[in-house]
Structure 1
């Protein structure tokens, strides 16, 4: 299972850049493997992202803004959904992952 975070490296919006950094830093800090996909570098990836966001999750106006988060081909959500899951301590569920048990050692 691969977590993919769709970002835009050439965004002029400070808010979007901060949101992208927040998601990436959280994943790195929690040692969650992920792939960052820069939609400004690949029209094909940008189109894939747009096409795979469920219709009921699309903004009422304009295109969906990065970051957009997927687990394999399954849409997880945008920054707002990520932020809410972070605040309620349900990020693993949001990402479709089982909580990490790496910190717990099993004794024989």
Structure 2
């Protein structure tokens, strides 16, 4: 199973940058491997991310386990707070 994080390297939003860093830092601290998918490299990746999560205006980071949608930053942050990251990522 591969955890995929859709993110962007090109954003003027401090909030998006902060959320992306928080997700990767939390996963790194738990030793959970993940793949980063940079939606700024190709607009079809952004469209794919939005289609998969069912939100036409979704902003990164969006988190998936393979092709299964796990959630966005807010849901991830709640899982971290509840010590339920593995369940959120559908690993447990």
Which of 65, 78, 87 lines up with 2:81 in the alignment?
Answer: 87
Q: Show the counterpart of 1:5.
A: 5
Q: In structure 2, how many angstroms separate the alpha carbons of the residues matched to 1:42 and 1:26?
A: 26
Q: In structure 2, how many angstroms separate the alpha carbons of the residues matched to 1:2 and 1:38?
A: 16
Once superposed, which parts of structure 1, at least 4 consecutive aligned residues long, lie more than 2 Å away? none
> What is the aligned-residue RMSD (CA, Å)?
1.1
- Structure number with larger C-alpha Rg: 1
Q: Show the counterpart of 2:43.
A: 43
Structure number with higher relative contact order (C-alpha < 8 Å, ≥ 6 residues apart): 2
Give the paired residue count: 92
1:94, CA displacement in angstroms? 0.2
Which of 78, 81, 85 lines up with 2:72 in the alignment?
Answer: 78
Q: In structure 2, how many angstroms separate the alpha carbons of the residues matched to 1:91 and 1:52?
A: 20
The TM-score normalised by the length of structure 1 is 0.81
The TM-score normalised by the length of structure 2 is 0.94
Q: In structure 2, how many angstroms separate the alpha carbons of the residues matched to 1:43 and 1:4?
A: 17
Task: For structure 1, list consecutive stretches of 5 or more residues without a partner in the other structure.
Answer: 99-108
Higher helix share: 2
DSSP 3-state at the match of 2:63: strand
